[in-house]
Structures are given as C-alpha cells and as structure tokens.
Amino acid sequence: MNPETNAKYAIETRDMDFYYGNFRAVKNVNLQFERQKISAIIGPSGCGKSTVLRSFNRMNDFIPGTRVKGEILFHGQNLYDPQVDPVQVRRLIGMVFQKPNPFPKTIYENVAWGARINGIPGIMDELVEESLVKAALWDEVKDDLRKNALALSGGQQQRLCIARALAVRPEIILMDEPCSALDPIATLKIEELMRDLSKNYTIIIVTHNMQQAARASDYTAFFTMEQDRAGVMVEYGQTGQIFTNPRDKRTEDYITGRFG
C-alpha cells in the first residue's frame, strides 16, 4: 500500500460481496468514493451498510467466518491482499462509532494513545492540541486536558473520538451512525465538523437519519435488501439529486417513507 499513489478515488469497490460464513450479506457492490468529499450510505436495517463500511478498514476481520469477495481498492491496492497489514489499514482509514467510546483515561491520553503506539513523529503536546483543534473540541477542554474523558458530554466524547482518530493522521474517516446517541445541537456540531474536515479528509458516513445524509453529505448511496436477504447498492449519486429526483423507484420509496 503506497500512500504516494495518486488513485482517482479514495476507495473503490469492485464486485464486492461480503459473507458471514455461508450467508452472503452484501452482493455486487460497485462504488467509488470521491476524495475529500462526504459520502453517506443510507438504507433500511439489515441492508448491509454498516457491514460495507466496516469492511473498508477491515474491522470485520474481528468477526470469525467473515470474508470479502471482489476488491476494495485503496491506493490502487486491494485492501484484502495477503500482504496488506490490517493495522496499517486502520491507521490510514479511521473509524468513529455510534456510541462515543473514549478510553477511561484523561482527555490528553485518549488523543495521544493511538499516535504513540503508531509511532507518529513530532511533539506529542502539539499533536494533541492540533487534533483537538481539528475536532473542534480544543476550546472546550484546553484547560482540562487531565480530566477523565468520561466526564465529558456525549457530544464532546464523540468529538474526542474524532480527535483520537485524527491524531494518527488518517486519510479516510469512516463514521458509523456517529450522531445517533447525540442531541440535535451536538449532532449539528458534528455535521459542521465533518464539513470542515472534508477539506483534508475523505469521510464516509453510515446514517439512519436521512435528513442528516441530505444535510451533511456530498454523495449518497442507497442500499436495500433483496429477496435473498443480501444487501445491494441501488443508487449512488450527488446528494441533491438523490433527495430531489432519485432515478430508482426503490430509492424514491425509501426516502419518501413508503418503505423501510
């Protein structure tokens, strides 16, 4: 995996299938995620959207019996090639989860930890500050860096998790329902932060909240589940088009609340 390669897309899937044992959970996904854009994946429960997202940084490796068929290209290389180091993948492709999950340590340690074990060079204090600034949390915590992270509000904890992800200098940030545990104000803060971060990072977000996808993303992919319970990608396009004039009736039915 050579980060110098100038691949056209941040991530590209080619005929991707995903299996849990013998069950094909996702089939035939062909998607191209633009660099430094926010792409949203929406769809009903069970359509495989989180499965797809987690396969982008090999988080599914932790679930026994799972496998990917087809290709997921990152810098021109299939993420699932045997010579690819999943730890390196997870450094370059970070993830923020549904529920904020800071370590029960200080704010400072939460941000510094990943950077330290990944051997990110530079002065740690500066890296912590830079990451917290980027995550729009610095002003709120700069006098309390030794406070336990669990004492922060939910929205602050989520931004801390984003700072933690940024500290290891990723290229892509995956977000799996990052606002579902947050109130509307904290949600808007995260969405504004995503917009800001997209100047330097590629963001892919899975969300149940269609309004959030409409508000916060540049591109939207709609997934649904077929008769065989396998998730498929139905339609992918610019968010404005998907929400005003979707091409596929299944997309229309889902986003207008007729199904799902």
Partner 1 sequence: MPRETLDREIHHLQDEVLLLGSMVEQAMSASVEALRKRDLESSRRIYRDDRLINEKRFAIENAILVLIATQQPMAHDLRFLAAILEVITELERMGDYAKGIAKINSLLGDDANLSTIRDISRMSEISVSMLHRALGAFVAEDDMLARAIPVEDDLVDDLYNQIYRSLVSSMIADPATIDHANYLLWAAHNLERMADRVTNICERTVFIATGELMELSSSDDEDQFDNI
- Any contact of residue 17 with partner 1 (CB under 8 A)? no
Answer for which of 59, 68, 93, 214 binds partner 1 (CB under 8 A) is: 214
Helix, strand, or coil (residue 220): strand
Of the CA atoms within 13 Å of residue 80, those in its CB half-sphere come to 20
Return phi, psi of residue 47, to 5°.
-85, -5
In the block, which residue shows the tokens 């056209």?
Answer: 8
In the block, which residue shows the tokens 């309004």?
Answer: 211
Considering CB under 8 A, how many residues would be counted as binding partner 1?
13
Question: With respect to partner 1, which residue has the nearer C-beta, 109 or 235?
Answer: 235
- What size, in residues, is the chain? 260
Question: With respect to partner 1, which residue has the nearer C-beta, 61 or 248?
Answer: 248
Strand-pair category, 93-96 with 172-176? parallel
Q: 10 Å Cβ neighbour count for 43?
A: 26
Least gap, CB of 191 to partner 1 (angstroms): 16
Least gap, CB of 211 to partner 1 (angstroms): 6
Question: With respect to partner 1, which residue has the nearer C-beta, 79 or 214?
Answer: 214
Answer for which of 210, 216, 225, 234 binds partner 1 (CB under 8 A) is: 210
Tokens (6 digits) for 106 = 């200080």
**Per-residue contact flags (x/-) with partner 1 for residues 221 to 260, judged by CB under 8 A:** ----------------------xxxx----xx--xxxx--
Tokens (6 digits) for 75 = 């810098």
Question: With respect to partner 1, which residue has the nearer C-beta, 88 or 244?
Answer: 244
Least gap, CB of 127 to partner 1 (angstroms): 41
Strand-pair category, 93-96 with 9-20? unpaired
Q: 10 Å Cβ neighbour count for 14?
A: 14
Question: With respect to partner 1, which residue has the nearer C-beta, 148 or 209?
Answer: 209
- Any contact of residue 119 with partner 1 (CB under 8 A)? no
| Footprint on this chain of partner 1 (rule: CB under 8 A) | 210-211, 214, 243-246, 251-252, 255-258
